Amino acid sequence: MEERARLCSVWLGSETGILKGVSVARKQAFNFCNSSHLSRDQEVRVLAWADPDESELLLGSVDGSVKTFSLEKGVFTDTRRCGDAQDGCFTGLGALPGGALLTCVERGVVRVWREDKSEPVTELNAGANVCRMRQSPVNAQRVATGGKENGLKLWDLERPGGPVFTAKNLRDDWLDLRRPHWVRDMAFIPDSDKVVTCTGHHQVHVFDPSTPQRRPVLEAEFGEYPLTALALPAAGGAVVVGNTHGQVAVLDLRKGLVRGALKGLAGGVRALQCHASAPLVASCGLDRFLRVHSLDDRTLQHKVYLKSRLNCLLLSRRPLEEAGAGPGAGPGEVKEEQDEDDEVWAAMEQVEEEAGKRKAEEPETQKKTKKKKKK
Amino acid sequence: MEFTEVPVNQQSKAKKKKNKAPKMKRGASQEGDGEKVGLETEGGDAKKMKPETATFPPTFSVSEIKNKQRRHLMFMKFKQERRKQKMQLRKKRQKEREALGDKAPPKEVPKTIENQRVYDETTVDPEDEEVAFDEGTDEFSAYFQGLTNPKVLITTSDRPRGKTVKFCEQLATVIPNAHVYYRRGLALKRIIPQCISRNFTYLMVVNEDRHVPNGLVLCHLPDGPTAHFKVSSVRLRKEIKRRGKDPTEHYPEVILNNFTTRLGHTIGRLFAALFPQDPQFVGRQVATFHNQRDFIFFRFHRYIFKNEKKVGIQELGPRFTLKLRSLQKGTFDSKFGEYEWVLKRHEMDACRRKFQL
C-alpha cells in the first residue's frame, strides 16, 4: 500500500468516493479506499496538497468532511468535519502555512480551520452559488472566489473584512441588456496580479487588480458550451480551457485567440491541470478517462480508464514519467537495492546503470501480470 | 462501321502480339486473373479464330478503350471471365473438401469489422466491484431495485405531421404505461418539472424532419441521464410485410444485445428501464434492442413454440434504427448540461473497427 502510494504521480477523486492514484510511468492505476463501505456520500469534490513538499493529500467529500491521506503510509490518517452538508458541496480546499485548513462551500462561506479547534478561526461570506475558490500559488493568504451571478472576488485572509478586489459586470450588450455573470473556474497568473477566469457563458476573462479598471482587461470566447475548467501552463502566456462537451483548447493570453485544440476527449471536462515544469496537461471528466496531452505538439500522451466519473485531479510536482518513489522516501529505497547488488555487481561497475534498470523493470512486469489476473 | 473497323485493328494488334507472346503472359498474370488467359495463349490457334479474346499488351486496361460501346463490351467480358474463374476455384475447393471428408480443414471465418474490433478498455467485466457499485447506485438503481414502475410520456416536436404521429401511437402500444401528449408548443425544460410531479419516469420526444421521424430524445426522470439518438429507417406497422395482429397490452419481454462497454451498459439500462420489470409471458411478445456497429436496431415480435425444437416468430412492428448522438448527465438541458459522452465525427469514427457501445 505504501509503495503504491509513493509511485503515483497523478491523483484523482471520483464520484464513487474512491481516491485514485495513477503511476504514468508504470501505466498502473490504484484505488485507495476500503471497498467494503463505498458510498456516494463520500464523493470526492476537491483535492489539494496539505503541505508544500507533497507528502499528504486533502480530500473534500460531499458530506462535508475533509480527509487527510498520507502518501508515505498510503492510508487515510485523519477525518474532520468542516461545515454541514446543508452548506452544499466543497468548491475549494487548500492548506495554509501553519497547518491551517481553508475550505469553501457552494453557499459561499470561506472558512479557515485550525487543527486544534473545532470552530472556524476566520469566516467570510463570498455570496451565494460559489462555483470555485482558489488560492494563489505565491501568497497562500490570497484567495479568489466566483460563481453564478457572483463575480470574481479576491480576498486577503488576514483582512477578512471585505474583498480586496471585486470584479464589475461586463458592459451591457448592444441591446442594452444586462450580461449574466457565471464564473466557473479561475487561476492566478504567476509573476503578476492578474487573474484569469472562465465562465459558464463560454468566455475567458482576465482581470487586473493592480489597475483601477474593474472590468476584464481581456475578453475572449471559446466554443459555444459552458467552460468548466481551466489551467495555466508552466510556460506562461496561455491558458488551457475545457467545456462540457469535452472540447479542450489552448488560448493565447495576449489576444485571446485559440492556439490549438487538444483532441480525444469524449465527455465533459471536470478538471484540468498543467504540470509544474513539463509542457503537459492532464484532464479528467465524465468520460471516466484520465488523459495527458503534450502542450508542445498537442498529442495525446497517456490515456487511462479509471472506471468512475472523475471530479478532480492533482498532479505532483516531480516529473510525470519518473518511475521512482516520492520525496524523501524515494532515494532510500533505491540505495537499499544498490547495497544488495553491490556484492554481485562489484566487478561490473561500467554497466551498473543498465543492470540497475533491468532490476527496476523486472518487478514492473511482474506487477503487470498480477494486475491482469486481478482484472 | 465501328464493328467492321475494330476487328481489323485487333488483327493488326494480334499480329504484333504474336512476337511478344511470352511477355503477354507475364503481364496477364500480373493482373491477377492470369490462369485462363494464360491457357488461351498456350493454345495459340484459338486466338486467331477469336480475335476478341486476344490478350492485351502488359499495360492495357479496359478503361483505355475510347469507344464506349466497345469498352462496355470488353468490360462485360472481362467480368464474366473473372466470375467463371471464381466459380471454378470454388467448385474445386468444394470437391477437395468432400474428398477429404472429416479431415477437411475447418472453414475460415470471414473477416468482418465486428470480429476485428479494436479492444475497448471500458468493456465491463461482470465481476468488477467498482463498476458494479457505480451501476448499483446510479440513477436507474431505483428501477432495478423494483422501487419505481416506469411511466412514460411520449411527445413530439412541435406540430407533428404524417408519419411521426403514427410512430408515436405505435410506440405507445409497444411500451406499457405510455401516454402520448400533443406538444402544444411547450418548452421541454418546462415540461420536465410537471412530468416529475406527475411521477413520470421517462420523457420521450420524437423529432421530425419533412414529416419523417429523425431524432429521439430519451430523458430519464427525475434526475437524468438524457440520451439523444438519431432515428432512421422507420417502418410502421402498415409497411411491414407478413406482420402479425396488433400487439396486446401484456408487458413484453426485453432483449438487449451487445451492449458491452461502460457506455453501452448505461444505454442498455436506459432502454431496460423503459419497460416494467415483470414481463407477462402470456402475451408472448418480445421487444429487442440489438446493437451492431453502434447502430441499435429495434424490433417487436410475437413468438410461439411450435414444438420442442421449433419456434415461430412474427413481427408486430414498428421497426426502426437508433444511433447514439450524445449522453447527457441530468435532465434535458442542451445548453448548460454536462455531457457524459458526445459523438465526435471524424475523431471517434476515424477507425472503422472501433465501436463505442
At B261 the pLDDT is: 93
Domain interval for residue A79? 2-333
Helix B68-100 / helix B2-30 crossing angle, nearest 10 deg: 40
B180-234 tens-digit pLDDT: 999 999 999 999 999 999 999 999 999 999 999 999 999 999 988 999 999 999 9
Please report the ipTM that was assigned to this predicted complex.
Answer: 0.81
The ranges assigned to domains in chain B are: 2-102, 129-342
What local confidence, expressed as pLDDT, does residue A1 receive? 64
Q: Does residue A152 sit in the same domain as residue A30?
A: yes
Is the domain of A168 the same as that of A286? yes
Q: How many domains does chain A have?
A: 2
- CB-CB under 8 Å, B130 with A268: no
Q: Do B137 and A40 touch (CB under 8 A)?
A: yes
Chain A contact for B336 (CB, 8 A cutoff): yes
Q: A287 and A342, same structural domain?
A: no
Q: Is B287 exposed, middle or buried (0-12, 13-18, 19+ CB in 10 A)?
A: buried
- How confident is the prediction for chain B on average, in pLDDT? 85
- A166 and A302 co-located in one domain: yes
Residues of A in contact with B133 (CB under 8 A): 16, 35, 38
| A252 and A343 both lie in a single domain | no
pLDDT surpassing 90 at residue B21: no
Low-confidence residues of chain A, pLDDT below 50? 324-340, 352, 354-375
Please state the length of chain B. Answer: 357
| 3-state SS assignment for residue B15 | helix
Same domain? For A341 and A325 the reply is no
pLDDT at residue A342, as a whole number: 53
Residues of B in contact with A35 (CB under 8 A): 129-130, 133
The whole-number pLDDT of residue A345 equals 55
Q: Are residues A225 and A361 in the same domain?
A: no
- Angle at the Cα of B256 from the Cα atoms of B252 and B261, rounded to 5 degrees: 155
Instruction: Count interface pairs A-B at CB distance under 8 A.
Output: 64
pLDDT at A348: 58
Strand partners, A49: A57
- The pLDDT score that the predictor gives to residue A343 is 54
Q: What is the DSSP string of A319-360?
A: -TT--S--TTHHHHHHHHHHHHHHHHHGGGGGGHHHHHHHHH
Question: Which residue reads 474593474 in cell numbers?
Answer: A214
Choose the closest CB to A286 out of B336, B339, B347.
B339
Tell me which residue in B122, B133, B339 faces A244 most closely, judged by beta carbons: B339
Of B122, B335, B338, the CB nearest to A286: B338
Q: Do A21 and A111 reside in the same domain of the chain?
A: yes
Give me the pLDDT at residue B218, please.
96
Query: What sign for the dihedral angle of Cα B114, B120, B124, B126?
Result: positive
Domain B129-342: assigned CATH number: 3.40.50.10480
A195 touches A152 (CB < 8 A): yes
Same domain? A212 vs A353: no
Q: Are residues A272 and A346 in the same domain?
A: no
Exposure string (b/e) for A159-178, b if CB count within 10 Å is 16 or more? Answer: eeeebebebeebeeeeeeee
Same domain, A174 and A201: yes
Cβ–Cβ below 8 Å for B339 and A307: no
pLDDT in tens, A97-138: 888 889 999 988 999 988 878 888 888 898 889 999 999 999
pLDDT digits (tens, 9 = 90+) for B44-59: 444 444 445 556 666 7
Residue where the block lists cell 463560454: A202
Measured in angstroms, the CA of B220 and the nearest CA of chain A are apart by 18
Of B39 and B163, the one with more pLDDT: B163
- Between A226, A228, A266, which is nearest B341 by CB? A266
Average pLDDT of the residues in B123-134: 88
Q: Over 60: is that where the pLDDT of B334 sits? A: yes
Residue of A35, A266, A375 with shortest CB distance to B342: A266
**pLDDT on residue B149:** 93
Tell me what the mean pLDDT of segment B289-311 comes to. Answer: 95
If interface means Cβ-Cβ distance under 8 Å, which residues of chain A face chain B?
15-16, 18, 31, 35, 38-40, 200, 225-226, 228, 244-246, 263-264, 266-268, 286-288, 305, 307-309, 375
pLDDT above 70 covers a percentage of chain B that reads 83
Domain match, A85 and A45 both: yes
